[in-house]
Structure formats: structure tokens, C-alpha cells
Amino acid sequence: MICIDKKEIQALSRLPRLNLINSCMGYKSANLIGTISKQGRYNLAVFSSVTHIGSDPALLSFILRPTTVPRHTYTNIKETKFFSLNAITSALISKAHQTSANYPEEINEFEVTGIEPELKNDMAVPFVKESPIQLLCSYVNEYEIKENGTIHVIAAIEKIFIKDEMLDSDHWIQLDKGDIVAINGLDGYAKSELIKRFPYARVAK
């Protein structure tokens, strides 16, 4: 096996270091976060840092990079307190990845990437119409990670929209039935496939 120690990691140039550290911990969830500004402008951005926090209450989190430059997703969430979380499918990956480009605030990423927005009832927040799992989330709290200046945002799950065929009788969601992908590193997308589902693990007697 190749061994790369801390000193060697730090000596790498920016892009190789980003690739190495972002891919060494395995596959990550692939999501698009949709927001709306107080001026009514839509924003859409790809995130690979969304994490389950707990189910009672239903909470999730994601990491935002330092706000030393404008972060439109963060600004919109702080202003409106709501956002949508949309799973990415294999058919969406090229358009979804393009949302990571550094567009100015006045640009609507839905329009420029060709992703169709979806509005639900009286909710102002845009969802991704093509996504088979869509969550409406509300801002709860945030914590500064002082070691690198990032922000850990905590959100509550307010509503979950799921394609019928993905939801099992015990409310478990089979992701591969929705053709949902994962992210490998910063720019690699991989298909998911269920291998086996196990019963709840108990200590053998």
C-alpha cells in the first residue's frame, strides 16, 4: 500500500490535496440545495456534506465553506429560514455539477443549468422537479468550526416528498429505485445499488 503522511499531504499543491482528502473517506450523499432570496431570486447549489443528525426530532446538517466570499445559499437561508434538499439522480449529474460554478448572485442556477424548479402549494422555496426525494428544511442553528472557518448548519426536516415506489412498508427508502447517485471526492459521481438489507443487529445469546 502507498503511505502518505501528514507532512506529505500538506506539501501537495491545492488541487491534488483537495482530491485526496475529499475522496479518502468514501462516498458522500449528493444533493442540491434550493433557496430563494428575500428579493425573490432562486439559487441552487450542489452539496456533498449533508449528514443525518437524528430522527427524534428529525435533524440534518451540512457544512458551508468560510464566508470570506459571498455564499448565496447561506445568505438566503439566514434571510428566509427555509431551503429545499433534493437528491441527485444519474440523469441530473452534469447539470447538478454545473451549479458548483461561481455564478454571481443575480444568476438563477435553475435557469442557467436547465434544471426545472418546482413549487409546492404555498411554499416559496424552489424544489428540483426531477428529484425523486425532496425535503423542505428549516434553519435551526449553526456552529463555527474554528479550525478552518467553516460553518456547520443544523436544520429541521419539515416535509419529505418521495416517489411512491421507493418507500417500503416500514418507511425505509430504497435509494437505488430512484436512480440516486453518490459523490466520490469533489467531482466523481457513482451509482448506488442495494446489496443486502439486514435486520436490526442484536447480541447473540
What CATH number did the domain enclosing 88 receive?
2.30.110.10
Residue 96 lies in a domain: yes
- Taking the model in full, what pTM does it have? 0.94
Does residue 129 fall inside a structural domain?
yes
- Domain assignment present for residue 110? The answer is yes
Q: How far lies 26's CA from each of 32, 34, 76, 105, 184, in Å? A: 19, 25, 30, 32, 7
pLDDT at 68: 66
> What confidence category does residue 192 fall into, taking pLDDT thresholds of 50, 70 and 90?
confident
Task: Name the domain count of the chain.
Answer: 1
**Which pLDDT score is estimated for 69?**
64
Asked if the structure places residue 1 within a domain, the reply is no
Q: State the Cα–Cα distance between residues 72 and 77, nearest whole angstrom.
A: 9
What is the mean predicted confidence (pLDDT) over 187-196? Answer: 94
For residue 153, being part of any structural domain is answered with: yes
The whole-angstrom separation of Cα 39 and Cα 134 is 23
Q: What are phi and psi of 90, to 5 degrees?
A: -65, -30
Asked if the structure places residue 113 within a domain, the reply is: yes
Give 84-130 pLDDT, tens digit per residue: 999 999 999 999 999 999 888 888 999 999 999 999 998 999 999 99
Domain that holds residue 135: 28-186
In-domain check, residue 75: yes
Would you state the pLDDT for residue 204? 84
Distance CA(197)–CA(174), nearest Å, equals 10
76 domain-assigned: yes
* Rounded Cα gap, residues 107 and 41, in angstroms: 8
- Whether 50 has a pLDDT exceeding 90, the answer reads yes
CA dist 74 and 138 (Å) reads 12
Give the number of other Cβ atoms within 10 Å of residue 74's Cβ: 20
d(CA 77, CA 34): 10
Sign (positive/negative) of CA torsion 163, 164, 170, 174? negative
